[in-house]
Amino acid sequence: MRSGEVPVLLSPAAARPTRRHGRWAGWLIVPPVLLALAVLIPVWAHDARLDEMVRRVTSFPLPPRTTWADPRPQGSVGLQAGNGNRCDYIVRISLTTSLSGQEIADYYRGSPLSGKVYVEQDAPEGGSRGVVVEFTEMHDPGWDLRCH
């Protein structure tokens, strides 16, 4: 101790840090966190499956005389129609082609990616037309609230 300093004596109770919130703070925080995880983990799992489906769709070669109209596919997860206990995955791609809608449908029918084909009707014969191809899959909904 240096000269001129006054020693300060603390009682044992004053030396311990005080706990303002006590034990109840953990009980107030933990349940909402667990509930949030119970809701978010199934959502993350279905989103990862949808991303894998998008990867499969975009890595499959395009039909001949066909190009991307929009290189960004659209994807969605959820119960799309009806009241079934399932989770529908939908991936839509927009293409420009000189093939007919039937030729596009036949091309995808022979692949592991079967889907519906929507064709722009007012394109001139032999000219380019817009085509939307929609691929769907169904999976178990699990606890994902979007699928119930």
* pLDDT tens-digit map of 40-75: 999 999 999 999 999 999 999 999 999 999 999 999
In this prediction, residue 33 carries a pLDDT of 86
With residue 37 as reference, give the H or E element that holds it. Answer: helix 24-59
What percent of the chain lies above the pLDDT cut of 70? 78
26-30, 72-76, 130-134: segment of lowest average pLDDT: 26-30
SS (H, E, C) 49-87: HHHHHHHHHHHCCCCCCEEEEEEEEEEEEECCCCCCCCE
Whether the pLDDT of residue 98 is over 70: the answer is: yes
Name, in order, each residue with C-beta under 8 angstroms of 142's C-beta and a sequence gap of 6 or more.
42, 45, 46, 87
Domain ranges of the chain: 23-147
DSSP state of 7: P
Whether the pLDDT of residue 23 is over 70: the answer is: no
Whether the pLDDT of residue 87 is over 70: the answer is: yes
What does the angle CA 74 – CA 75 – CA 78 come to, to the nearest 5 degrees? Answer: 145
